[in-house]
Amino acid sequence: MRRKSEKDLMKDLTPRTIVEELDKYIIGQGDAKKAVAIAIRNRWRRLQLTGEMREEVMPKNIIMIGPTGVGKTEIARRLAGLVGAPFLKVEASKYTEVGYVGRSVESMIRDLTKVAVNMVESKMAESVQTRAAAAVNERLLKLLFQNAEDRTDEVILEVDENQQVRTLDKNRIMKDIENGKYDKRVVETEVEQPAITPVGVMSNVNFDDLGIDITDMLDNIASNFPGLPGLPKRKNKKKMTVKQARQLFMREETEKLVDREAIINTALEVVQNLGIIFIDELDKVCGKSSVTGPDISGEGVQRDLLPIVEGTTVNTRFGMVRTDHILFIAAGAFYGSKPSDLIPEMQGRFPIRVELNSLTEEDFVQILKTPKNSLTKQYVALLNAERVKVKFTEASIKEIARVAAEVNARDQNIGARRLHTIIEKVFEDISFEAPEKKGQTVTITPGLVHKKLKDIVKDANLTKYIL
């Protein structure tokens, strides 16, 4: 069992690789990409240090500032898939001050810890895959040949309905089981019903916010008082296909092979040293006047956030989590406010500021064309499902970009989001008629773009409603 440790994984993630990876999805915004890439690399660098120095190095938290729709959230989203570290994206406006109904800021640490546990768990599960699969096949074999008289290593002796003894080659059958030959057969097996907990009844109460887990609690009670009937963990016989049984057994066997305690310990290490929280919409809790809900002041939320960003210990159901070395990346449009409107302590905890630029017409052309899964590629793929071939001429892409830029300049500038509304409008009829156009090729031309949009663009009022 050889597993790349988190540290090794991150070693390959140089700032340049991170930026190159982000470049595949996001056009421009070089400064922001660089800043996050460096911040992430610094996590790895810190882990190379020892002792006091390692404790002293604090993460350099970042604020990304930029107008709406220019890629702030997109950078976060792509980063998440990239870093191989526990990553959580939250919206600042979802949190409320202590004492109000809503999520307390500490819950973000609990969520991040859960992400880390899941991450480590699935890595560990992966490492026992082969062993688990072997055990599963063995169980399926027993289940399928329950009436077998004898099971030696090589043969299975089965008595059929006419009392005839058949010899079956065990290896053959194992191969067949593995290859799914028996997948459709129905077998009967014991299934453990999940214990009934009051959680479902009180679903409005977020127990996790209280730092407790009701299932854990009940389990604890049951194990401390062996005399008690314990939790109603019922076992039921259930009929299912071999295919379904395989999934069930796979979960059970994996569970048996992985070491729960090791998972949690590793996850706690990982979350404290490598965890990243992306706080989106930070500007929504910025400034005294900004109010996120009835009577809840943004400043109050900031005050609650502060200890978490500065470093505190949060009680999670997996154990205590120190937040000192968790990296925070915040983003916001900061339209009516500035980062300097944040409470001073908060400003100090976000030393790196990067600005994202408004997008130009040329950026739009690139955004339409180049990213992996760009909008134009999405439409081609979607209509391909209807066997309609879509082609964009170079000029049509330019035209879409031009209209987007024009509308953004004249009405509200919503950045690249404008492309979505415009292209959807262009495709209105094609999307509707596609099933009847099977086998045809549809070419998107500037003329078509113009035809679909000219009346709307001309009329400022219509634009407001449609684009």
Ligand X SMILES: Nc1ncnc2c1ncn2[C@@H]1O[C@H](COP(=O)(O)OP(=O)(O)OP(=O)(O)O)[C@@H](O)[C@H]1O
Selected binder of ligand X within 367, 404, 405, 449 (CB under 6 A): 367
Q: Does 417 bind ligand X (CB under 6 A)?
A: yes
Q: Which CB, 419 or 457, lies closer to ligand X?
A: 419
Number of residues located near ligand X, criterion CB under 6 A: 18
Q: Among the candidate windows 234-242, 298-306, 317-325, 412-420, which touches ligand X by CB under 6 A?
A: 412-420
Enumerate the β-bridge partners of residue 159. Answer: 165
Beta-carbon neighbour count of residue 143 at 10 Å?
17
* Min separation Cβ 118 and ligand X, Å: 25
* Tokens representing residue 312 in the block: 């505190």
Spatial separation of the C-alpha atoms in residues 20 and 64, rounded to whole Å:
19
Q: Which of residues 58-77 bind ligand X (CB under 6 A)?
A: 66, 68-74
Stated as kind and residue range, the H or E segment containing 208 is none
Total count of residues recorded for the chain: 467
Q: Does 275 bind ligand X (CB under 6 A)?
A: no
Q: Which CB, 28 or 273, lies closer to ligand X?
A: 28
User: What would the DSSP string read from start to end of 39-79?
Assistant: HHHHHHHHHH--HHHHHH-----EEEE--TTSSHHHHHHHH
Q: Which of residues 313-342 bind ligand X (CB under 6 A)?
A: 333
- Side chain identity at residue 124, one-letter code: M
List all residues 6 or more positions away from 428 whose beta carbon is below 8 Å from its beta carbon.
452
Q: Which does 26 bind (CB under 5 to 8 A by kind): Mg ion, ligand X, none?
A: ligand X
Q: Which does 93 bind (CB under 5 to 8 A by kind): ligand X, Mg ion, none?
A: none
CB 330 within 8 Å of CB 61 = yes
CA-angle at 241, arms to 236 and 247, nearest 5°: 80
Residue 71 is classified by DSSP as S
Q: Which CB, 73 or 244, lies closer to ligand X?
A: 73
Q: Which CB, 370 or 445, lies closer to ligand X?
A: 370
For residues 85 to 124, the per-residue mask of contacts with ligand X, x marking binding by CB under 6 A and - elsewhere, is ----------------------------------------
Beta-carbon neighbour count of residue 385 at 10 Å?
8
Q: Among the candidate windows 83-91, 150-158, 395-403, 415-423, which touches ligand X by CB under 6 A?
A: 415-423
**Pick from 255, 244, 341: nearest CA to 302:** 341
Q: Does 73 bind Mg ion (CB under 5 A)?
A: yes
Q: Which does 376 bind (CB under 5 to 8 A by kind): Mg ion, ligand X, none?
A: none
* Min separation Cβ 89 and Mg ion, Å: 9
Beta-carbon neighbour count of residue 50 at 10 Å?
8
Q: Which residue has tokens 């030696």?
A: 152
Q: Does 415 bind ligand X (CB under 6 A)?
A: yes
Q: Which CB, 15 or 30, lies closer to ligand X?
A: 30
* Tokens representing residue 446 in the block: 């500037």
| Positions in the binding site for ligand X (CB under 6 A) | 26-29, 66, 68-74, 333, 367, 371, 415-417
| Positions in the binding site for Mg ion (CB under 5 A) | 72-73
